[in-house]
Structure 1
Amino acid sequence: MRQTFDETTDRSFGSKHVPLIRQAMARHGLDGFLVPHEDEHQNEYLPAANDRLAWATGFTGSAGAAVILKDKAAVFVDGRYTLQVRDQVDVGLFEIRDLVEGGVPAYLESAAPRGARIGYDPRLHSPDALGHLKAAAARAGAELQPVSPNPVDEAWGAARPPQPTAPVVPHPLEYAGEDSAGKRARVGQALAGGADAAVLTAPASIAWLFNIRGGDVIRSPLPLAQAVLNRDGTARLFLDPAKVTPDLPAWLGNQVRLETPDDLPQALAELKGKRVVVDPAQSSAWYFEALQSAGAEVVRAEDPCALPRACKNEVEIQGARNAHARDGAAVTRFLHWLATEGQVNPPDEITAVKTLEGFREATGALKDLSFDTIAGAAGNGAIVHYRPTERLNKRAEKGSLLLVDSGAQYLDGTTDITRTVAIGEPTEEMRERFTLVLKGNLALARIRFPAGTTGSAIDALARAPLWAYGLDYDHGTGHGVGSYLGVHEGPQRISKAPNTVSLRPGMILSNEPGYYKEGAYGIRIENLQVVTPPLDVPGGERPMLGFETLTLAPIDRRLIAPKLLTDEERGQLDAYHARVLKVVGPQVEPEVRAWLEQACAPV
């Protein structure tokens, strides 16, 4: 799947679809219905058949919700999507509300009529989130009611796209680095609380555990499936038969029982009397209710695959290095284009996105983008996670900045990189703010830290240069990244928010401090880096972990104010650029190589 800009939704969706949803609500005797963004697998990116929020409202962001009542409706988004939601949604029909500040519970408490029956689909809500929603409705004197079939699905009817049936294929050991039997054995033995089994619903965990990949979810090579992993390493995998390729059964082996999703309810019933791990953050309330009804003892614990999946093995790490070297050449060709043609005839955002994708396509190895490319010219760059559309598309101008955040999916790794480029001559303020962001990026790249350190403990390193000038940014500094899986992967992260998961060797995280001046420009510098094994520090008393930077592409030297860099920072930046030139230089054409030599010259 590739980037598209002709939106499949528009402002008229609400006026066309909400009446149909209300008719379905009436047939169920409901006064309202909750429409989350999440699907049955709690995916960030959704197959078209499961993007109920987009069909109901027109909003296509990766986080949000809606509440549709008899006589009013509201859409909820976070700060990333304040511009996009007003571009896509009929604000005369939907009230726009903040997803974080109060969110859906606060709206229910204030807007739900006393005595109202508000429906929800238990397959689409986590048990904890559902508990908050029920409590809020109760405070309003209303009641949440599980309903099946889903009124949105009923209203959508025959026009709803079919569920995806992309082939599920083996992910070879040359990329995975460990066979599925070994993974299943060690994860099964480590189940929380000595549990007998675990129910897995996260597509990324299923893909990792069984060494398989699919294509059901845009931007991630994921198969939609469920699994039950037993303590002895045997498993049951529930997969639509239409996805099963001829060599898949043999790949899975005789310890994995391949079944259909229709077999899942009976499989859960057969867990009667067993202790079963289920992750309340990854699995919907439906699973908890089904297991409890069957007489199983539910153990609420984190997905047992999450931490092992996050700690990449040596084969996956080398694959990441290879993917970033290849991707770095594509990004470098794009940066050369911006530095030459793009300076003479500044591109619009969509042209920049398509051009960058063309360079990645030319590698011959691109499987997909890892997310929809963010390209923000001038003031649009100050909108974190802005995504250009035909209606919002802006042309870069002389004296402005262009922020491009992009990534790719390759068989050997997933990439995510942000570069901010000057179009024309930047101002001194732009250089100052860019250099402060760069200083934070460099600090987080060179830090040494002891085992047990969390991402929240080192987040301030990336912010300290900005803080010294009274500046900051309002997003996290780093997220986990998968190995030819999701570009956003837990449980590790680097942010102000407290996090109990320590950073461990093999974890891949982003390093992306930024600065955003509303209405003017945005700056972000993002590299991916992998946590290295503990090493002895000369004269030290305990081994220290660190980071190896994976991303390889030049940083715009025209935006650097050298006087703000220390000698250590200059040496670190020069060493990074020398490495970029060494790895990327031999891959690119002579004219790009000549430009790269200048772009990577010592500061």
Structure 2
Amino acid sequence: MARFQSFDDSTSPAQGPERIAKLRTELSRRGYDGFIVPRADEHQGEYVPKSAERLAWLTGFTGSAGTAIILQDKAALVIDGRYTVQAAEQVDTTVITPVPLAETSPEDWLAENLPAGAVFAYDPWLHTSDGLKRLKQAVARAGAKLAPVEMNLVDVIWIDRPAPPQAHVRPHPLAYAGETAEAKLERVRAKMAEAKLDALVISDPHNLAWTFNLRGGDVGHTPLPLGYAILPKKGRAQLFFDPAKMTNEAGAAVGDLADFVDIKDFLGALDTLGTDKEKVRIDAATGAVALIRRIEAAGGTVDVGADPISLMKAVKNQAEIAGSRSAHLRDGVAVAHFLAWLDREAPKGKLTEIDAVEALEAFRAETGALKNVSFPSISGAGPNAALPHYRVTKSSNRPIAINQIFLIDSGAQYEDGTTDITRTIIVGEPTAEMKDRFTRVLKGHIAIARCVFPKGTSGAQIDSFARQPLWEAGLDFDHGTGHGIGSYLSVHEGPQRIAKTGTTALEAGMMLSNEPGFYKKGDYGIRIENLILVEPRTIPGGDREMFGFETLTFSPIDLRLIEPSLLTADEVAWLDNYHAQVREKIGPQLSGETRDWFEQATRPLN
């Protein structure tokens, strides 16, 4: 049994019609003509507590991104390319229409479908300043009015809504954090001084956790303590949590740097910032409109911009880098045991997707250091591998069949680091097309791994390197090439990313994923993912400060899926060198039939 993952079907398409009907009744009772339900909590987080799973409860859709717009006569669920198939399966499409984000945005759909003169409601705790601007413009285009609500209208009808989480807040050891909270606060306050700020409201729990070297357990798979902080330019900070979360250990760790305050007093503290006429930074990415309005209503000045902590957190220090390397070696041993086991057992024809998830988690648990998985494992056999964000349930569980591709994307949370790895494996014999597509994805992966670039380069400038081999065959994939990684925090961490939207310049110490893919709907999917670290590079004769990537993940890439004729000599050399490193770092910790399998799996290609 998996300790950290469930395979239950938590929602059903049948729940949507009744709940949407109840919401429409509530809208009518209050004089509203529609309501927007984003996949977000009060911190605009990707991973949210059960009490904030409003979109899933209302519609049945469980993806990590999406927006429902409920009008009296129609409803839409706007989702990106990762979730097109999932949305169609999870919602009752006679009541709510899945709308691909690539075709229309939530705002455009609203502008086209909201009746003139209508009053459209929204929850100011679930929208940022920029998000609200777009929403206002859309409603204005429809000739309608926008109205904030005091209480989320889904919460009004959600009678058995779970209570907010109360996991204990605990200190994150300095040996892993690598920098004291006091030193971090000094750096943050220097940035505040540059911007002439009187205070910073820390609305992103990741930033709060990193700054004060704290961790929690309020959301699944990410050690987050949900709460807020107010950091004045001088004096003690205030950390706002439910008192049930507080521990003596956390209090002792924070010491004189901050006071722990009941979350019930948070709004009053915002009022005080306003009455004191403070200039307050609210994070553009995670700061809710409700925060802005509260401060401004009390007389304060709000400066909406980037929380300076986000970029600081993205650049890992030496302790965090050393911890990640250690975590990846530990994880590499567990993954090697899993891949050897899979290669022995899958050809017998008795394994399922759930079997694979449970086995991999068990191998990681055997390390004795596993705190959690870093996200629910994506374990896709055959057609399910073509769904980039597929999550196996008891009803969707497929056998791992012979002559089919099996894809597993998984990760672990260790106290010294967070991991994320995808491997695509052939069970039996691949087709020529599978080998062609796999090799093109591998070429893109190698292009990113070998990339050298000048300081100031963004992820958007690098993203196409991973796509070129696919583009040459008229192919592509509909997700970013890489996301940032936290240090015993979120497996998805910004602002850095390798994607068309990745505008942040990459800096030495940033960690990202390198995961190009290819997906043939209804047939198979391919993704090869390693984590990488931005590091300085010296180019003889060059006159620019340059960076490259160090690969952190060490695990065999399936040689049986490679078409060697498509690889250049340099690409073959990279692959052989990578596998030599895998053998050197992981091999000594393996024995018996696993070691025998491993030696064969990491042999030179030619």
TM-score between both structures, scaled by the size of structure 2: 0.96
Q: Secondary structure at the match of 1:340?
A: helix
1:165-180 alignment, distance < 5 Å: 165-180=166-181
Report the Cα distance in structure 1 between the residues aligned to 2:152 and 2:79, rounded to whole angstroms: 22
Of 162-171 and 53-62, deviating more is 53-62
Any idea what SS the aligned residue of 1:546 has?
Answer: strand
Cα deviation code 1:496-553 (max 9, x no counterpart) = 33x4321111100011111222222211111001111x24323333442211100111
**1:576 aligned onto 2:578:** yes
Q: 1:361 aligns with which of 346, 361, 365?
A: 365
2:40 to 29, 35, 38: 38
Does residue 402 (structure 1) correspond to residue 406 (structure 2)? The answer is yes
Q: Does 1:510 align with 2:513?
A: yes
Give aligned-pair identity as a percent.
51
Please, which moves more after superposition, 99-108 or 290-299? 99-108
Bigger drift between 121-130 and 225-234 goes to 225-234
Worse-superposed segment, 592-601 or 369-378? 369-378
Which residue identity is paired with 2:171?
Answer: P
**Do 1:346 and 1:423's aligned partners in 2 also have CA atoms closer than 8 Å?**
no
Are the counterparts in 1 of residues 81 and 479 from structure 2 also a CA contact under 8 Å? Answer: no
- Is the deviation greater in 274-283 or in 107-116? 107-116
Matched, 1:80 2:79: no
Question: Could you give the per-residue CA deviations for residues 454-506 of structure 1, whole angstroms, max 9, x where no partner exists?
Answer: 11222222222223333322221111010011111111111233x43211111
Q: Distance in 1 between matches of 2:99 and 2:589?
A: 48
Name which of structure 1's ranges 329-338 and 108-117 shifts more when overlaid on structure 2.
108-117
Distance change in 2, residues 1:357/1:107 (3 Å)? same
**Counterpart residue number, 1:441:** 445
Which residue type is aligned with residue 303 of structure 2?
V
* Structure 2 gaps, min length 5: none
Residue 306 of structure 2 aligns with which residue?
Answer: 302
Amino acid at match of 2:27: M
Shift of 1:73: 2.5
Match of 1:522 among 503, 525, 537: 525
| Partner residue in 2 for 1:491 | 495
Q: Residues 345-371 of structure 1, C-alpha deviation per residue, up to 9 Å, x if partnerless?
A: 263222222222222222222111111
- Letter of the 1:489 counterpart: E
Q: CA deviation at 1:268?
A: 1.2
Aligned equivalent of 1:342: 346
1:181–1:233: 8 Å Cα contact kept in structure 2? no
2:256 is paired with a residue of what secondary structure? coil
> Where does residue 536 of structure 1 map in the other structure?
538
CA contact 1:234–1:256 (8 Å) conserved in 2: yes
Equivalent residue number for residue 563 of structure 1: 565
How do 1:16-27 residues align onto structure 2 when only pairs under 5 Å count? 16-27=18-29
Alignment of 1:229-244 (within 5 A): 229-232=231-234, 234-244=236-246
- CA–CA distance in 2 between the matches of 1:137 and 1:15? 25
> Structure 1 residue 343: deviation in Å?
1.9
Match of 1:8 in 2: 10
Give CA deviations for 1:406-455 in whole Å, capped at 9, x if unaligned: 11111111111111001101122222221121122112112222211111
3-state SS of paired residue (1:372): coil
- C-alpha distance in structure 1 between counterparts of 2:200 and 2:104, whole Å: 33
Alpha carbons 2:538, 2:546 under 8 Å: kept:
yes
Deviations 1:188-228 (A, max 9, x none): 11125221211111111111011000000112110110011
Q: Map 1:122-271; keep pairs closer than 5 Å.
A: 122-157=124-159, 159-191=160-192, 193-232=195-234, 234-271=236-273
CA spacing shift, 1:362–1:514, aligned 2, 3 Å: same
Deviates more, 1:354-363 or 1:209-218: 354-363
Q: Is the 8 A contact 1:65 1:99 kept in 2?
A: no
Moved more, 134-143 or 170-179: 134-143
| Secondary structure of the corresponding residue to residue 353 of structure 1 | helix
C-alpha contact (below 8 Å) 1:381/1:403 kept by paired residues: yes
Q: 2:434 and 2:442 mapped to 1: Cα distance?
A: 12
In 2: Cα distance, 1:443 partner to 1:79 partner: 24
Partner of 2:68: 66
Contact 2:34 2:119 (C-alpha < 8 Å) held by counterparts: yes
Quote the residue 2:58 is aligned against: 56
Change in 2 beyond 3 A, CA 1:108/1:457: closer
Taking the aligned partners of 1:394 and 1:65, their CA distance within structure 2 comes to 29
The residue type equivalent to 1:186 in the other structure is R
In 2, the alpha carbon distance for the partners of 1:267 and 1:480 equals 33
Q: Who is 2:395 aligned against? A: 391
Whether 1:417 aligns to 2:421 is yes
* 8 Å contact kept, 1:279–1:301: yes
Say if 2:328 is the partner of 1:324. yes
- Counterpart of 1:314 in structure 2 is 318
My pick for the range that moved more, 94-103 or 320-329, is: 94-103
More off after superposition, 231-240 vs 43-52: 231-240
**Corresponding letter in the other structure for 1:236:** Q
Alignment check: 8 A CA contact 2:349 2:401 kept: no
* Conservation of the 8 A alpha-carbon contact between 2:484 and 2:511: yes
In the alignment, is residue 466 of structure 1 matched against residue 467 of structure 2? Answer: no
- 216-225 or 343-352: which moved more? 343-352
Counterpart Cα distance in 2 of 1:377 and 1:559: 15
Deviations 1:130-164 (A, max 9, x none): 2222222222222121112222111113x111100
Equivalent pair of 2:452/2:537 in contact (CA under 8 Å): no
Q: How many residues align?
A: 600
Distance 1:347 1:122 in 2: 47
Higher mean alpha-carbon deviation, 50-59 vs 270-279, is at 270-279
Instruction: Say if 1:188 and 1:197, in contact at 8 Å, map to a contact too.
Output: no
Deviation at 1:50, TM superposition (A): 0.8
Partner of 1:602: 604
Residue 383 (structure 1) shift: 2.1
For residue 299 of structure 1, give the secondary structure of its aligned residue in structure 2. strand
Q: Report the more deviating stretch, 130-139 or 589-598.
A: 130-139
- Kept after mapping to 2: 8 A contact 1:184/1:234: no
| Deviates most, 71-80 or 259-268 | 71-80
CA distance in 1, matches of 2:469, 2:82: 24
Q: Residue type matched to 2:437 in 1? A: R
Counterpart of 1:579 in structure 2: which amino acid? Answer: Q
CA–CA distance in structure 2, aligned partners of residues 314 and 148 of structure 1:
46
Q: Amino acid of the residue matched to residue 34 of structure 1?
A: I
Deviations 1:259-290 (A, max 9, x none): 11111112112223222111222111111111
Q: Distance in 2 between matches of 1:292 and 1:521?
A: 53
SS at match of 2:126: coil
Write out aligned runs for 1:580-591 (5 A).
Answer: 580-591=582-593
Asked if 2 retains the 8 angstrom alpha-carbon contact of 1:188 and 1:233, the reply is no
SS in 2 for 1:106: helix
- Structure 1 unmatched runs, 5+: none
Choose 439-448 or 581-590, whichever is displaced more.
Answer: 581-590
Aligned partners of 1:569, 1:18: CA distance in 2, in Å? 53
CA contact (8 A) 2:82 2:478 kept: no
- In the alignment, the residues of structure 1 paired with residue 209 and residue 416 of structure 2 have an alpha-carbon distance, to the nearest angstrom, of 14
SS in 1 for 2:229: strand
Instruction: Tell me if structure 1 keeps the 8 A contact 2:349–2:399.
Output: no
**Which letter does structure 1 place at the counterpart of 2:485?**
V
